A and B are shown apart, each in its own frame.
Chain A
Amino acid sequence: MRWHVRTTAALAFVVTAGAAAAQHAAVAADARIGETIYSRCLACHALAYDRTGPRHCGLFGRRAGSVKGFAYSDAMKRSSIVWTEKTLDRFLANPLKMVPGTAMGYAGVASSKERADLIAYLKEANASAQCRS
């Protein structure tokens, strides 16, 4: 019984600590910093229109390789990815690992904090008038 109580208490602590960490990460993600990080993407991407890379407006919930008229790699078209915070985080960490054959020949954003900031900015931008118009 004592073991059970201790285990329950330990589990409760782990769950609470995990939730706190997740909340901290959510709070810590800074869209303003993310906007600065987004400047790294601006050789190829824009929010509202396609360039060497596809537009980022409408990104969340979009199936990868589905912007009409954009010439994706076969690998991206076949990837079956739907862009969410989670899938974006994985892709941005190492695009060539997640989608071998992607045209995005980029080593990735190594820092999880920078990825979180970048994703926070993309979410904010997607809710902005620029993306909603």
Chain B
Amino acid sequence: MSFLIVANAPNVFEARRAFLGKSGLLLSGAAVALLAGQEALAAGGDKSSDSDTRILNTALGAELEAIAAYQLGAESGLLQKPVLDLAVTFQGHHKEHADLLAKTIQKLGGKPVSAKAKYAFPTETLKTQNDVLRFAATLEKGAVSAYLGAVPVFGNRDLAKAAASILGDEAMHWAILRNALGEAPVPSAFVA
């Protein structure tokens, strides 16, 4: 079942749009809560804080690349509405993640990495809408795994919670992109 076939079924598409809108609201609420939680973070110096800052900066680097990847997809001319809207919505989430991560790094006394002037993307393989969706799904799946691997190694458990919150969002992106590709949206009971 392709995404476009689903899109032609108005009730299903309306339900999805409503779901996306609500999930966006939930994420914003979570981001606000996570920022509020950072009041307790001390500007670092200790080993644990330095390690947390490095982990956050690696995550920020990946988020900035994801923003650039969605920009590439949006400007490719390959994405048709409503898929284009979906990509822009997900890019907005990554911008929120990046903003939260950068502010937290600063709060810890670190220096957030900046976006690269240029990213290497496999543009030669992106010829159709499905190619772009598959590329985005690959990045989102990787992000789920990266955050899953980061959660247990944070010294500060509030940061682990924030990373888990972002992980949940990335997993939703991945599932919806898989669904758009006609694949089982949730292929297994666990992610790795």
Contacts and interface: CB of A to CB of B under 8 A. Distances in A.
Interface of A: 37, 39-44, 46, 49-52, 73, 96, 101-108
A59 B11 CA distance: 50
Interface stretch (B21-29, B79-87, B144-152): B144-152
Among all A-B residue pairs, the 9 with the closest Cβ atoms: A105-B55, A43-B142, A42-B142, A40-B145, A106-B149, A43-B146, A49-B120, A52-B61, A43-B143
Contact residues of A: prevailing secondary structure? loop
A105 B51 contact: yes
Given A44-B62, A103-B57, 15 more contacts: A39-B145, A40-B145, A40-B149, A42-B138, A42-B139, A43-B145, A46-B122, A52-B61, A52-B62, A105-B54, A105-B55, A105-B150, A106-B149, A106-B153, A107-B150
A37 B149 CA distance: 13
Contacts of B65: 51-52
Contacts of A106: 146, 149-150, 153
Nearest to A53: B58
A116 to B, nearest CB: 16
Contacts of B61: 44, 52
Interface in B31-79: 50-51, 54-55, 57-59, 61-62, 65
B5 interface: no
A92 B116 CA distance: 27
A47 to B, nearest CB: 10
B192 A105 contact: no
A41 B145 contact: yes
Contacts of A40: 141-142, 145-146, 149, 192
Contacts, number: 69
A39 B149 contact: no
Interface string B172-192: 000000000000000000001
A20 B184 CA distance: 40
B138 A96 contact: no
25 contacts: A39-B145, A40-B149, A42-B138, A42-B142, A43-B62, A43-B139, A43-B143, A43-B146, A44-B58, A44-B146, A49-B120, A51-B62, A52-B58, A52-B61, A52-B65, A101-B50, A101-B51, A101-B54, A103-B57, A105-B55, A105-B58, A105-B59, A105-B149, A106-B146, A108-B149
B98 to A, nearest CB: 12
Nearest to A51: B65
B146 A107 contact: no
B141 A42 contact: yes
A105 to B, nearest CB: 3
Nearest to B140: A43
A64 to B, nearest CB: 16
Interface string B109-134: 00000000001101000000000000
